Chain A
């Protein structure tokens, strides 16, 4: 069995989701190869080559692969797929965009968002917003699967790096072009991989309050900021900070929900966190049913107090 993992990266650096997808691939069993596709992405390829469990790194570095548009990247994977028994990618927005295209071109039924691997052809995946888990057996000769990165540990750094080999890039199908990207810039950790997440709901009541009330606590803790769908819909923070079924699904060590009631679709995005803290005025808020530590309090008083306490602790 040989498995090809599509790396998630930003050209100059490799995302943590890749290390997690590599460890997921290892659970299927067999030799794991990593494909780094992009433009000017040698650094990301070298980082992948240094991860434990990686036998080969394939580098496809060319202008047609910049911004990782679905059509050229899918064509590249299809050109390599003949040598593999399984193709796997983390179910990031990029993986979700590209992988079904690959599956259709290979005439394979993709298995999306795998959260556990029980054997070489036996996979668990959530359905109905994670309310139900389905175990499926694939009858396709070749497997195509996306894996939920937060469900797998990251591959560790290997003692010695494997070599990086360049691969040929097929002709760009040319069915799409990059126009622009507007990426949120933040000094804070990435929401998807952060160890601690401080998250706010509609109760924050303004974008300013996210900055003045939540941000100091997040920054002292070295945490990422997240938000409920209600807070995003109200325009308090940008879309990419939404935690939930339709946003990001995360599992940090510590999730601090401030003024979030805990709608089903929000819980689907954070219920696998190791420790959940909920601060909410409403003692009947559903978030308390999943929280390890609940504090019934006004967040505008409790969060600054929380911040003062951890800032004090950091000094000591």
Chain B
């Protein structure tokens, strides 16, 4: 069984990103970049499936600038077998990403595609669903558990009211939520080994996909920050103020 995992290079989620003063975008100069945390979970799940003998090959793909190769290297150090960089310096929207990944999937013919449920930069939460639609596959989004059989998988999904489990015939697409697993740190020997693993390079044009954006960013700004209120001295004062001042308690 072959698994394709799509990963994105994003700003480190622990860094507070700011809007540029002229409102044209966000300031990413000198910001530490890392693999999208949900994509790390996707890679980890694929590696675990290989470790238990369910999968025999893991291909990891990233669409982005040259430095996205570093993100692929991280995935290779975690246990993926080979990488594919679809290199572009353009901003690629989820719809175009899905089109490129569709072409990659048609060439690679994986049994399962796993992606993170969303990237923590644009927070779009679209790519997996779009890719699944374009391929005509079933989708198991926001997965917290994945059970892989020979011809089908069962995906337990985190939904608003609790959990929902769906069955999908293979090939199928899964998007990883927070609780699917806890990703490993790559060991030093594996980081060294990853340097010898192959990374192929293509461009969006090789797949005949136009990446021109459909959305024009008109303005980027930071929301009004909430000001700290007051410290109250006692529970009695708190209840009194919530009743009389804020009017939120009866």
B167: chain A residues at CB < 8 Å are 176-179
Segment touching A, from B71-79, B195-203, B239-247:
B239-247
Category for how many chain B residues contact A: 35 or more
Question: Is A314 part of the binding interface, using a Cβ–Cβ cutoff of 8 Å?
Answer: yes
B121 at the interface (CB under 8 A from A): yes
B158 at the interface (CB under 8 A from A): yes
Chain A residues lying within 8 Å of B218, measured Cβ to Cβ, are: 122, 135-137
Distance in angstroms from A299 CB to nearest chain B CB is 11
A36 in the interface (beta carbon within 8 A)? no
C-alpha spacing A102/B242, complex, angstroms: 45
Residues on A with C-beta less than 8 A from B177 are 246
Chain A residues with CB under 8 A of B126: 100, 103, 110, 112
> Residue of A at shortest CB range from B139?
A70
- Does the CB pair B235–A295 fall under 8 Å? yes
> Are A274 and B248 in touch, CB under 8 angstroms?
yes
B26 close to A (CB within 8 Å) = yes
Chain B residues within 8 Å of A309, by CB? 235-236, 239
B219 within 8 A of partner (CB): yes
Cβ of A293 and Cβ of B242 under 8 Å apart? yes
Give chain A's interface secondary structure class.
mixed
Asked whether any CB of chain A lies closer than 8 Å to the CB of B21, the reply is no
Question: How many chain A residues have a CB neighbour from B under 8 Å?
Answer: 91
Closest CB of chain B to A30's CB: distance in Å? 20
Chain B proximity mask over A251-267: 1 for CB below 8 Å, otherwise 0: 00110000000001100
**B163 in the interface, Cβ–Cβ < 8 Å?**
yes
B166, CB-defined interface residue at 8 Å? yes
Interface string of B52-86 (1 = CB under 8 A from A): 00000000000000000000000000000000000
Q: In the assembled complex, which residues on chain A have CB atoms less than 8 Å from the CB atom of B29?
A: none
- Other-chain residue from B120, B160, B243 in contact with A192 (beta carbon distance below 8 A): B160
Nearest Cβ in chain A — how far from B169, in angstroms? 7
Q: Is A120 an interface residue (CB 8 A)?
A: no
How far apart sit A232 and B234, CA to CA, in the bound complex (Å)?
Answer: 29
Taking the complex as formed, is B134 at the interface, i.e. its CB lies under 8 A from any CB of chain A? Answer: yes
B228 interfacial contact with A, CB 8 Å: yes
Q: List 25 A-B contacts (CB under 8 A).
A: A67-B164, A70-B129, A96-B141, A100-B94, A100-B128, A101-B132, A103-B126, A104-B130, A110-B126, A112-B123, A127-B121, A129-B120, A129-B123, A133-B221, A135-B221, A140-B214, A176-B166, A177-B167, A183-B161, A192-B160, A239-B179, A271-B226, A295-B232, A295-B235, A313-B243
A interface residues (Cβ-Cβ under 8 A, vs B): 67, 69-71, 74, 92-94, 96-105, 107-113, 122, 125-140, 173, 175-184, 192, 196, 221, 229, 233, 238-240, 245-246, 248, 253-254, 264-265, 271, 274-277, 283, 288-297, 302, 305-306, 309-310, 313-314
